[in-house]
Structure 1
Amino acid sequence: MGPIPYGKQNITAEDIQAVVETLQSDFLTQGPKVEEFETKFAQYIGCDYALAVTNGTAALHLCAMVLGVNEQSNVITSPITFAASANCLRYCGGTVWFADIDPTTGLLDIAHVRILLESKPKDFFTGIIPVDFAGLAVNLEAFRQLADEYNLWLLEDACHAPGGSFTDSSGTQQNCGNSQFADLAIFSFHPVKHIATGEGGMITTNNRDFYEKLLRLRTHGITKNPELLQHNPGGWYYEMQDLGYNYRIPDILTALGISQLNRADANLKIRRQIAARYNEAFQSVKSISILNPTAYYPELKESGHAYHLYIIQVPDRKGLYDYLRQHQIFAQVHYIPVHTMPYYQQLGWKYGDFPRAEKFYEHCLSLPMFPTLTNQEQQYVIDKVLEFVNF
């Protein structure tokens, strides 16, 4: 059996044909495929506006700009996430504050966020960036209520969760990124994600003013929209109205994204089936802890988990990691707590600040999880995990 990675893209003949057709078209970039991808993604998520950009980090950066993050901004996020969730604030001069996680889910713990909010003057904080970690949706209704109490904005990092959802207090299914509760949300299309474009990201929102500004910021802060121009001497004319960036995504990549989006639901169904097989294999093994969505959503049998990652916790994570690699299973660790990175330690954070996040990191391991993982490959992974923990 060949090497088994923790995540892997699935490129089909239809994907290749979609890219070839775009290569043979009149537009490699700034063409119709970008808008088509945005429209279809907005429909899939259930939001009003979607804006495609170069990657998820660029999406976070532009959202921070639109939300007005600056040197006076203090924003809360999770330490168990990829560094970009925090870095986007630093790009704009803002100050990052972390709150600890719920160890049963890996999600930002709203109770700890409230404790942090209460520790400062009421107008000290400006926003919260909850992360749909591993594909499990944050209860954004609860976070919205807390944010409104303190007059904060909400930016949902849904990079792990296209197709994920939670059920709100009225019994309505709320899709990750639909912006019913968050002001903005972002997604990533890195190859190990649900929808792969090579590199790419998306911002979703229901706020038209945000959307119009994002359009400019994505392209150097430039607009040619006649309704927005201060002067209009002719059809050639454009204005740079903000200091923006070149965060445009090319048509080649969005053509791939459209093709991948066509089978997003089918792939999500497979991810959930893979997770169910892992759950069945590990749920009665005392030395293996699996993340428990029902602890977060006790009223639900189906949590709407998107399963970007399947994470277990074991006493000897390093031993299991090495053992699996010896057998060509390339499991991964998600994530090294952001506050322990040298850059953030220079800003004053240190080991011991968030015991739950640090303990989670010491024991967590992401097992192979991708739609083309075969039953035989998955059983091999399960067998090797059980071999190690039962030594």
Structure 2
Amino acid sequence: MLAYGRQSIGQDDIDEVVRVLKSDYLTTGPEVPKFEEAFCAYTDAAHAVAASNGTATLHIISLAIGLTPGDQVIVPSISFVATANGPHYCGAEVIFSDVDPETGLMTPDTLREAMTRADPARLKAVFIVHLNGSPVDLEQIAGITKAAGLYLIEDACHALGTTYSMGNDTGKVGDCALSDFASFSFHPVKTITSGEGGMITCRDPEMVAKLALLRNHGLERDPELFTDADIGFEEGTGAHNPWAYELQMLGYNYRMTDFQAALGRSQLGKMAGRFAPQRKALVAAYRRKLKPIAHLVTPAPNTDNVDAVLHLMVGRIDFAGRGKTRREVMMQLRDLGVGTQVHYIPIHRQPYYAKLNPGLTLNGAEAYYAGCLSLPLYPDMTEADVDTVVQALAKVLGQ
């Protein structure tokens, strides 16, 4: 069975995890900062903060920018629910943006429309999603958020390795040249995995210090930053108490383990030489081989003038026009050995958020959702596997 996505774990990855399991530190050791440093080098980021998963990164970003009940944020409706949940954990009201019906991406126009439904005095941040690995028009959206004095956070969980247009130049997703933060996930089906895990990139050292506290209960262990001398230092001598720590803000246990970091760093080392080129080659093969059946299925378009490393290969299908439901198509493909998935149900339609947004209709999100189907894409696939998928699509949709 060809799954829609899966991890690619080699013996070198296993050896790195075993090495750490035999070491002195399984957590709070040296591997996490090594992974953070390597991630900065790969994304051209100034700083990186690792966490336990991608949802945790969105949560502590929301905490770091000071979101509280009564604040508002804008989030595209086509994404995983975590993009909305992260700021909503802080009590922020989520204003859902519509998306382009073909790409599923927030656009400058859909952002502006969402802003008309927000209270300018309460709107604090915009969370964008580089869906499937294709970037939004980051330059134009950043211009809008900057003019409005809003934080801009990239949910880049699909887009490790992707570049975006920036004037006559390009940037790497995660460099935060136009945004305040970028959030990444290392779930097994993502571009690289650490089992579970996440990373935040950022250019502001003060925000990085906040994020580091928030992922570790809010505890400070650096004696130079202590605020209570009775806790931190011996009375009379002023010597540092080696056991001392201070709770300086309310944080969470969102730490990444050292063996997760070792796996993540090993995986990251394969991006340039294997993972990114193989994903690009498979996507190119899909685009060639789907052309003869373009009347049945077409690939969701990439945005122009970018070098995307896709996490998901999405086909756009007129299910009603083929006389079949999406479920029927998925089940028939499964019987032919092809696994598929749907990314995503519009968040504003989920019962929890629908109760908070009664009557909200987002036509672009509905249209994208109605026709999307995620096809198999992962580094261990071959071009022959792409042939298998395309032949199965032709058989099922051509009946």
User: Which TM bucket (shorter chain)?
Assistant: over 0.9
What is the TM-score normalised by the length of structure 1?
Answer: 0.95
Note closer, same or farther for the CA distance 1:15–1:349 as it changes in structure 2 (3 Å cut). Answer: farther
Q: Does residue 1:220 correspond to 2:217, yes or no? A: yes
Mapped to 2, the partners of 1:292 and 1:325 lie a distance apart of 25
Instruction: Give the corresponding residue for 1:160.
Output: 158
Match of 1:173 among 156, 160, 170: 170
Question: How far off its partner does 1:119 sit?
Answer: 4.7
Contact 1:340–1:349 under 8 Å retained in 2:
no
Question: 2:386 & 2:336 partners in 1: Cα distance?
Answer: 13
**TM-aligned CA deviation for residue 368 of structure 1:** 0.1
Amino acid at match of 1:101: V
Distance in 2 (alpha carbons) for counterparts of 1:347 and 1:120: 14
Alignment of 1:259 with 2:266, yes or no, is: yes
Letter in 2 for 1:357: A
SS of residue paired to 2:311: coil
User: Do the aligned partners of 1:99 and 1:109 also contact (CA within 8 Å) in 2?
Assistant: no
Structure 2 spans left out of the alignment, 5+ residues = 234-239, 320-325
Amino acid of the residue matched to residue 153 of structure 1?
Answer: Y
| Distance (whole Å) between structure 1 residues aligned to residue 128 and residue 211 of structure 2 | 21
> Does structure 2 retain, via aligned residues, the 8 Å contact 1:339–1:349?
no
Structure-2 residue corresponding to 1:314? 317
**What is the match of residue 341 of structure 2?**
332
Secondary structure of 2:314's aligned partner? strand
Moved more, 56-65 or 121-130: 121-130
SS in 2 for 1:163: coil
List per-residue Cα deviations over 1:47-81 (Å, max 9, x = no partner).
11101100000000000000111112110011110
Aligned to 1:361: 369
Question: Among residues 90, 93, 105, which one is paired with 1:92 in the alignment?
Answer: 90
Aligned equivalents of 1:349 and 1:30: distance in 2?
45
User: Unmatched 5+ residue regions in structure 1?
Assistant: none
Equivalent position of 1:22 in the other structure? 20
Partner of 1:145: 143
1:92–1:119 distance in 2 versus 1, CA, 3 Å: closer
Distance 1:52 1:275 in 2: 29
Question: Residues 348 and 182 of structure 1: is their aligned pair in 2 closer, same or farther, counting only changes over 3 Å?
Answer: same
Q: Which has the larger radius of gyration?
A: 2
Matches within 5 A, 1:1-391: 3-169=1-167, 171-230=168-227, 231=229, 232-233=232-233, 234=240, 235-265=242-272, 266-284=274-292, 285-293=294-302, 296-297=303-304, 300=305, 303-316=306-319, 317-350=326-359, 353-391=361-399
Question: How far, CA to CA, are the matches of 1:110 and 1:140 in structure 2?
Answer: 9
TM-score (norm 2): 0.93
Once residues 386 and 116 of structure 2 are traced to their aligned partners in structure 1, the CA distance between those partners, rounded to angstroms, is 46
What one-letter code is carried by the residue in structure 2 that aligns with 1:66? Answer: A
Distance 2:332 2:66 in 1: 47
Give secondary structure in 2 for the equivalent of 1:247.
Answer: coil
How many positions carry a matched residue from both structures? 381
Question: CA shift at 1:383, angstroms?
Answer: 0.3
SS in 2 for 1:272: helix
Once the two structures are TM-superposed, the CA of residue 212 in structure 1 deviates from its matched residue by 0.4
Q: Is the 8 A contact 2:55 2:82 kept in 1?
A: yes
Instruction: Report deviation, 1:225.
Output: 1.5
What's the % identity of the aligned pairs? 36
Contact 2:285 2:383 (8 Å CA) reproduced? no
Question: In 1, Cα distance between the equivalents of 2:316 and 2:391?
Answer: 16
**Displacement after TM superposition at 1:228 (Å):** 1.6
Q: How far apart are the structure 2 equivalents of 1:279 and 1:356?
A: 23
